[in-house]
Every structure is written in structure tokens, then in C-alpha cells.
Amino acid sequence: MFNHKLITRLYNPDTHTIEVPTREEIEEQYKWNLTDIYSSDEEWEIDFKFVEESIIGYAQFEGRITDSSVTLLACLKFDEEIGMKLERLYLYCMLAKDSDMRNTKYQGMDDRIKQIYSKVLTASSFIKPELLKTDEEKLRVTLKEFHQALVNRNTVSVNQQTDKALSYGHSNGWVETKAEMIRNLETGYISYQGFKEDSITVAMNGNLASVRFVADITATMKGTASVYHLKVLEVWVKKGKRWVLFARQAVKN
């Protein structure tokens, strides 16, 4: 319930206004309990100093987080620890500042945490690009392995590297499903003698990637061999740790 006595005391009948009470005049039940975050400003300073002195630790992982699973895990745990402390530090000083905007101490703490937050973002900015680069490298390898599997008529690999809903479009408008592609390779209805990619570009968005390239493909269909010069778009989806082909379309180059 509202403290009606406090409201009555703060009300100015001449101006019909109510003076904003100070934090000390507000009952405890209506205040944020900042001790749930930090027991004191001194404890906040301890974590702030830890983060400030730990920023340099990001340098040990830059350029090598994908060297091994151990290094990657260590980097992610290190970043998580810094991130969790930053969230607590920011929440504490933000609530303390908003509780009493006249208190310049907490305004200063808020400025300090924003500055160090910016430094952490800069120091850790390599993590996501390096992880994405690793995914792209794996996709490029998988793409070439898939094309080689077509040449080798390796239907086991083709099965593993394609999605069950595969739509495989050719430059003449013919579209194969996954089952049809495997059956056509097994029966020799179509065979590939060469598959050369060039000018590969990859665009990634989470677990989805589009790959564009030009290709010279030597293939035999119904006993007739031809060389096709194509522009190709392939759409790949990451499932677990593997990339699988979801869709493909080609046009004559």
C-alpha cells in the first residue's frame, strides 16, 4: 500500500504538486534489493577489477580457437565467465543509478562499466568470425567431396551428404529427388566423369548456407557424353556437425 502520510507531507497545496521523495524516504519494500546482486559497492569493485585485468586473456585464443576442441572449450568458458560478470556489474550499477539520479557515484560506475563493456566486445570480436570461418571451410570441403562422390558413383556418400527433401535441379529443367539421384547413379542412367568448380562464394546465415560457383561438368546420359559449362547455386543445411545439400539449381553459363 502507498504511504499516504508521506504523500500528504510532500504535497504542496499552493502549486498542487508533489515533491519527489528521496530514496531514504521510500519504504524498503518498494526499493530494489541490490544486495541480491552484490552485497556492497566494494564487492562490485572486486569483480570490476577482475574483468578489467582479464581482458588481456582473450589474446591467448585469437587465431587458434579451432586448433583443438580443448582450446575452443577453454575460450568459450573464459568468454562466458567474463560475460556473466559483466551482466552482474552492469545490472547493479544501472539499478543503483536509476534509484537516485542525484548520486554521481553510481553515474560514474555506470560510465565505467560501459567503457569496459566496449573493451570486452573489441577484445572478443574474433570469436564469431573464426567459428564461422571454420564452418565455411568445412562446407567447402564437403561440397568438393560431394561432387567427387558423384564422379565416383559413391551412392553411400551421396546419401550421407544430401537431405531427404533434396531438390537437385539441372540446367535443362530436369529436377531429381534424392531417391531418383541415387537410383540414376546406380543404374548408370547418368554418370559423371569430371566436376571442376571455380569462383566459389559462400554466404552463411546460422545453419543455412548458399554456395554459388561456375562449373565445368563432364557427364554421360543415355550413352551420350557432354561437357556442361554452368552457373550453379547450392543450398546447404547444417545438421549437427554435418553439412547436407538441400537444394541445387544450375543454368547454362
Mean pLDDT of 171-194: 94
Determine the Cα–Cα distance for residues 51 and 226; give it in Å rounded to an integer: 63
124, pLDDT greater than 50: yes
Determine the Cα–Cα distance for residues 94 and 109; give it in Å rounded to an integer: 9
Coarse DSSP helix, strand, coil percentages of the chain, rounded to the nearest 5 percent: 50, 30, 20
Quick: pLDDT tens for 64-106. Answer: 888 888 999 999 999 999 999 999 999 998 888 877 767 788 8
Quick: pLDDT tens for 177-188. Answer: 999 999 999 999
6, pLDDT greater than 90: no
What residue ranges define each of the domains in the chain, with the CATH number in brackets?
A: 32-125 (1.20.140.70), 133-252 (3.10.450.50)
The percent of residues in the chain predicted with pLDDT above 90, rounded, is 66
Mean pLDDT of 217-228: 90
